[in-house]
Amino acid sequence: MDPQELDRTAARAGIKLKYTDAWGQEKTLGAETKQQLLAAMAGLAKDKDRNGPLPPVWVLRGTDSPRLTLTKAVNGHWTLIEEAGRRHQGQVKGSALTLPSGLPDGYHQLVLIQEGQQWECQLIRAPGRCYEPPEVAAGGKLWGCCIQLYTLRSERNWGIGDFGDLALLIEGTGKHQGAFVGLNPIHALYPALPQWASPYSPSSRHWLNVIYIDVGAVDDFVQSQQAQRWWSMPETKSRLAELRQSALVDYPGVMAFKLTALNHAWNQFRQRTDDCSRVAAFRAFVQAGGEKLRLQALFDALHEYLNDRQEETLERWQQWPSAYQDPDGEAVNDFCRRYPERIAFYQWLQWLASRQFDACFRLSRRLDMPIGIYRDLAVGVGEGGVETWSDRELYCLTASVGAPPDRLGPQGQNWGLPPQDPNVLIKRAYGPFIDMLRANMRHCGALRIDHVMSLLRLWWIPGHRDAGQGAYVEYPLQDLLGVLALESQRQRCMVIGEDLGTVPPEITGQLQEAGIYSYKVLFFERDKDGGFHTPDSYLLQAMATLTTHDLATLRGFWLSEDLKLGQRLGLYPSEEIFPSLLNDRRQDIQALLDQLIRSRCLDADAGTRADELDWSPELNLALHRYIALSRSTLLGLQPEDWLEMSQPVNVPGTTDEYPNWRRKLSRKIEEIFADEQVAKLLTAVNHCRQQAAANARKR
């Protein structure tokens, strides 16, 4: 392919031929990168049929005109079938087609016919903005707690936070006038490989992580004599105590323990008769889940089967015997015939998880929490999970997603997540995106989209090349925003976009116009001179937070524990970096202290020099008051900061060096909400949120 044709083909595929890096320099892609990315797209960009007058999908947003421009002239007639079944017809002559006005929001089917030829298009009519709860639309200032579910301790869990603990956290937060409980991604991971615990590299984003099932609340576990005999054994009690008391989540231990119990419960469930309401509910769940649920359960059962028969752990499906790598192959079909009960078991686990999670959301509604549960949608899936195993066309397995080099990461980042081909998304009328949104907007009042820039573009890294040798691939932003708004309104689920880092200016305003809430972290809300923003200068349409799972806790930040940890872990490439980081941190802490005093969140009598001010509950309270006074509509707080913990959840850039995604909270839920200091802090947060709302009404 000659250079000009290569450029045209790459551009049609969505590959950006040039981009501006973090230092303001324009970069031009090399031929090799273009070729490798086109190859990763399985040739679709080259072979795409563009001869018809209609695209596979057409999205109209808000007040968009119903006049459509065709890709070529047509002399024939059209039929439009609304989602509800109403039909419209008309003639078309030329390259423009005017549809009826007043077309309702929804998914409609457009058909063009000319001399025996027929073309079809999914026509999506979408609202202009995403859903906002009445309390938000009325100008309320809401707060909630954001938790990594697995970190929760309680008197009753089995060594990991579960949906029973989530119910306790919802009750405690609701009683303190909190509007929501925010969760880490709770997507399906890998039951046969529980040590793969990162919630941001899931097997599937359509189903739930079954390790969060509250086994003690499963009726068939309680009613099973076999299960109760196991439960009463001294070795069972001893193992449970070990799992509960551990400061870190023992994922393999917890999963093995829970699966033992759930297998007993499954044997009890199988004895239920066909006229049992629970059996009917399970069958309805399986039918509604359809092929996606069957594939999820099949993958988990097959992964378990293969690992039980191998000396070495088979982590990714790419390591399985070749006969099992094809989900439609004879070996997999034979497995389905031989082990239908094991597949049904994993479907049953998803049913249990879904029922328990739904019960948590219904509890939040009974407590009149305006949002209730706020979920987190990971930016992608792991390369070795069920989604990539079952859909090779959608996922580009010879590329991965990451970030280009910037000042914080001079080498760039490779997240090891295979990207979805935007051309396939268009070809399928955004069906995969729609299904994913529906799966994640279910049972919650808000959805946070991790790395919301993925609606506009993703940094693709071809093959095994360095992260800096990638390119931006564009996604159909306007169409995706329209679909997001439509599903948000239908599911009554507001949307928050994680927009940290370098944000292209062309997307910022469009996200705000679409009703997507921004994400503002205290540490990054700085003026040009290095000072911290005043509370009333925070963005209104946003969720403000003190910190996140990838950053230091408040106490850790103030005491520079995160920097000291980085030094101990050997994360700094030279000896000079650590002293420089400490010096910068001292300046940051002083700037933050200055702002606390100016904002009247801390009395100057406490001290005006950060290097002479020890960490204390009073300082912690001042920081919470400061962020609670922010102008932002939403506020998310971490229980780690209520408890003044120092160690972070996750240290980016590490794997085995630090126990990422394993550190638990320092205290049990029952103790947290009984603590006078926590109660005092949450009372102050409520007062400041009310004050922020009053200040907004005065403007």
Please write the tens of the pLDDT for every residue from 402-458. 988 876 667 788 999 999 999 999 999 999 999 999 999 999 999 999 999 999 999
Total Cβ atoms within 10 A of residue 176: 17
Average pLDDT, whole number, for the chain?
94
How far apart CA 39 and CA 33 sit, in angstroms, is 10
Same domain, 242 and 300: yes
Are 10 and 86 contained in the same domain?
A: no
Confidence grade of residue 504 (pLDDT, cut at 50, 70, 90): confident
CATH number at residue 121: 2.60.40
Q: Indicate whether 359 belongs to any domain.
A: yes
What's the number of domains the chain is made of? 3
Q: What CATH number has the domain bearing residue 321?
A: 3.20.20.80
* pLDDT for residue 694 is more than 90: yes
Q: Answer with the one of 126, 151, 174 that is the final residue of a domain.
A: 126
Residue 356 has pLDDT above 90, yes or no: yes
Per the domain annotation, does 38 fall within a domain? yes
Same domain, 88 and 35: no
- The pTM is what? 0.95
Separation of CA 510 from chain center: 21
The yes-or-no verdict on residue 45 having pLDDT over 50 is no
Helix H segments across 328-394?
A: 330-338, 340-366, 386-390
Identify whether residues 86 and 210 lie together within a single domain.
Answer: no
Residue 653: per-residue pLDDT? 81
Same-domain status, 118 and 195: no
Mean pLDDT of all residues in 299-309: 96
The 3-state DSSP class for residue 568 equals helix
pLDDT band at 67 (very low <50, low <70, confident <90, very high): confident
The answer to whether position 94 is within a domain reads yes
pLDDT at residue 506, as a whole number: 75
Highest average pLDDT, of 50-64, 89-103, 221-235, comes from: 221-235
* pLDDT score at 48: 52
Same domain (yes/no): 359, 294: yes
For a pLDDT cut of 70, what percent of the chain falls above it? 98
Domain of residue 207 covers 185-370+380-390
Is there a single domain that holds both residue 14 and residue 87? no
Name the one residue in this structure whose structure tokens are 């946003």.
542
CA proximity to 300, closest of 269, 327, 277, 279: 327
Lowest mean pLDDT among 225-229, 311-315, 320-324, 552-556: 311-315
Residue 47 has pLDDT above 80, yes or no: no
Find how far residue 36's CA is from the centre of its chain.
Answer: 28
Amino acid at 152: L
Residue 328 lies in a domain: yes
H or E segment and range at residue 510: helix 505-513
Q: Among positive and negative, which fits the CA dihedral 359, 360, 365, 367?
A: positive
- Average pLDDT in the 237-254 region? 98
| 246 domain-assigned | yes
Res 186: pLDDT = 98
Q: Using 50, 70 and 90 to split pLDDT, how confident is the model at 44?
A: low
> Sheet harboring 117-126: ordered strands across?
57-61, 117-126, 106-114, 67-81, 87-98
Would you state the pLDDT for residue 508? 87
Reference 385, options 321, 265, 295; nearest CA is: 295
385 bridge partner residues: none
Question: What phi-psi label fits residue 24: left (phi over 0), alpha (psi between -120 and 50 degrees) or beta?
Answer: left
Kindly state whether residues 70 and 37 are assigned to the same domain. no
Those residues whose C-beta lies under 8 Å from the C-beta of residue 183, and which sit 6 or more positions away, are 146, 147, 148, 149, 166, 373, 374, 375, 376
The pLDDT of residue 46 is 43
pLDDT of 388 over the 60 cut: yes
The answer to whether residue 645 sits within a structural domain is no
pLDDT, tens only, 96-115: 998 888 899 999 999 999 98
- Is pLDDT of 686 > 90? yes
Mean pLDDT for 21-32 is 88
